[in-house]
Amino acid sequence: MLAPSRRNRIMQKLREQKQITVKDTAREMNISVGTLRNDLKVLEEEGFLTRTHGGAILPKTFEKEFSFISRSETNIDEKRAIGKEALKLIEGKNCIIIDASSTGMELAKLLLDYKHLTVITNGLVTAQLLSQNPHITVIIVGGVVRTGSSEVEGLLGQSLLSQIHADLFFTSAHGFTSDLGMTEFSIYEAELKKAMGANADQIVVLMDHTKIGRKSIASSIEPSDIDVFITSKKSDSTFLNYLEEQHQINVVTAKIE
């Protein structure tokens, strides 16, 4: 098993169990204790976990971040402003994809009175919200729902996505850097977003300023694949100019009310 896959499995175990032991985890993953300790050291250096005597735990900041409720309440005014800018792109479109992000949820809230639209999503909360509008057809991408998660992961829905053509794919991420683009905490989530993006005419990234410059384990959408990058005026202008000049991305900065 390659290092990125091992470390992704380690983090998935932490998300589900909140803490792990070296002995049990090494046995379950069929790897040596030395290899596991090295992976834990790397993940701690990158800020993804905290090593303990004989194991590891999630940092408190990450425990909070994994909660959809916590994420949806963080930078809420900024996310609402980004959602409003994203809404302007939907006029005249027939089919869109919205990922399970909390910023995507703010866009979904603005669609409750929208007419004649098909929305594909892997977000359980997003799907439930949009189902309140009888004029919207909601399609949930199939996959696995992990303990405590509000989203569907995995590639079980890839065959469905291959049969659907979307006008726009609205997506966010755990982090975004100029060289890697969007990065996720889960390889499965990253692969699903790649499949979503491959079946849309345009990829629209919704990114609040706190995620810029931060990176995670798995790459999903590369800068060269992004058409529109919507953020707020809180984001670093030098970074945004770089995206426009080096990657020819249409950058939109939302005004926070």
pLDDT in tens, the chain (257 residues): 777 778 878 887 887 777 899 999 999 999 999 999 999 988 888 777 889 989 998 876 555 455 544 555 567 899 999 999 999 999 999 999 999 998 999 999 999 989 899 999 988 889 989 999 999 999 988 776 665 556 666 666 677 788 889 999 999 998 999 999 999 888 888 888 999 999 999 999 999 999 999 888 889 999 999 999 999 999 999 999 999 999 999 999 999 98
Q: If you compute the radius of gyration of the chain from its CA atoms, what whole number of angstroms results?
A: 19
Distance between CA atoms of residues 19 and 27, nearest Å? 15
> How far is Cα 186 from Cα 7, in angstroms, rounded to an integer?
10
Q: Where does the chain hold its CATH 3.40.50.1360 domain(s)?
A: 75-254
CATH 1.10.10.10 domain residues, the chain: 3-66
Give CA–CA dist 199/44, Å, rounded: 36
Which tokens is 160 given?
A: 């469905």
Helix (H) or strand (E) holding 148: none
Helix (H) or strand (E) holding 98: strand 95-98
Enclosing H/E stretch for 220: none
75-254: CATH topology is Rossmann fold (3.40.50)
Q: Map tokens 């803490």 to a residue.
A: 19
Dihedrals phi, psi of 141, to nearest 5 degrees: -75, 130
3-state SS assignment for residue 250: strand
- Work out the end-to-end distance of the chain between its first and last CA atoms, rounded to an integer number of angstroms: 48
Q: Are 164 and 139 in contact (CB under 8 A)?
A: yes
3-66: CATH number: 1.10.10.10
DSSP 232: E
Burial class (CB in 10 A: 0-12, 13-18, 19+), 2: exposed
